[in-house]
Structure 1
């Protein structure tokens, strides 16, 4: 299967709804992250792109830090895009593989047709659960616990905030895949709204 963002819907909350995608075999369980973990993740802003060296670092802790930096930077740029229903003015292409970026752009196009935008913040607490520096290309898996309690869909025609999908957990598991070519990029992003965390 090609590189893909495996979710598609009209808004970022719905992008994360109904998509399969549990963690890998090295998942660290479904324990709820602490409030401090959410606070730390919420205040992490986008950083400069990870080094474009041809080879990833040999030290696992350095590679994990680079993967999380790319993931957090992608996250911040996605938030910006979904608040405006447009990828213009964002740096998503620095952090996402082309097919994954194309899926986000398709969601943004749908939002424009439905006249919706997002407001508020999605908090999260990502961690690297698998890292294969010896693979060709090197790969990593990020497991995230997303908190959507402060994230709402706005109908830009009426100005009304639309209710979230009924019966779905506020906190849920997201799994992302990353690969290192010229630099680390996110190649897949999948949420499981049936799997609370």
Structure 2
């Protein structure tokens, strides 16, 4: 029984760190507004300056996502307003569900999650325009603890591992992170 509970918390840690879980539907206005699609969404050719600007905007969205996720997790607040500034579904719903799950189990996040992201591809001709990001996350100092006493949740662990994320440009021009995965089996 203890092993099963420890495994659940380990899986939960993974989902909170980069929020890997089941997809869901959001109800926020940003979730209802889809990414750019159709012929008028993007020109046929793009300059390297446009791709560089897209990569920079996507990295800013990714950094905002990590900051918003840390703030929401530290407060056990799945409705934290910063989440919708940087996230879109299905990732937005997965983040909210992970934070809500932690809250229901009396847990919260403390510490610091270190990140070193880089853009690995930019596709402005895609429908929607997409930027793929790769990151080396260091969760060694980012812990899942019980809110009542600050003790670490059994079976949770940190470490350094590869993470990937996808940012897309939405009709209002914002880049939002809508997908992500943690690859704890791939250290960096």
TM-score (norm 1): 0.69
Q: Relative to total residues, which structure has the larger helix share, 1 or 2?
A: 2
Q: Is the 8 A contact 1:17 1:192 kept in 2?
A: no
Aligned twin of 1:104: 95
Q: Could you tell me which of 145, 161, 169 is aligned with 1:180?
A: 169
Superposed CA RMSD: 2.7
Which has the larger displacement, 152-161 or 64-73?
A: 152-161
Higher relative contact order (CA 8 A, sep 6+): 1
Aligned twin of 2:56: 65
Secondary structure of the residue that 1:70 maps to in structure 2?
helix
Query: Is 1:151 the counterpart of 2:153 in the alignment?
Result: no
How many angstroms apart in 1 are the aligned matches of 2:52 and 2:139? 29
How many angstroms apart in 2 are the aligned matches of 1:139 and 1:18? 19
Q: Which has more radius of gyration?
A: 2
Q: Relative to total residues, which structure has the larger strand share, 1 or 2?
A: 1
How many angstroms apart in 2 are the aligned matches of 1:164 and 1:141? 31
Could you tell me how far 1:83 is from its partner in structure 2? 0.7
Could you tell me how far 1:55 is from its partner in structure 2? 6.2
Q: Is the 8 A contact 2:15 2:98 kept in 1?
A: no
Structure 2, unaligned runs of 5 or more: 1-9, 22-40
Offset from partner CA, 1:26-45 (integer Å, 9 cap, x none): xxxxxxxxxxxxxxxxxxxx
Which has the larger displacement, 65-74 or 92-101?
A: 92-101
How many angstroms apart in 2 are the aligned matches of 1:14 and 1:104? 8
TM-score (norm 2): 0.72
Q: How many residues of Structure 1 are paired with residues of Structure 2 in the alignment?
A: 154
Q: Is the 8 A contact 2:20 2:180 kept in 1?
A: no
Structure 1, unaligned runs of 5 or more: 1-7, 21-53
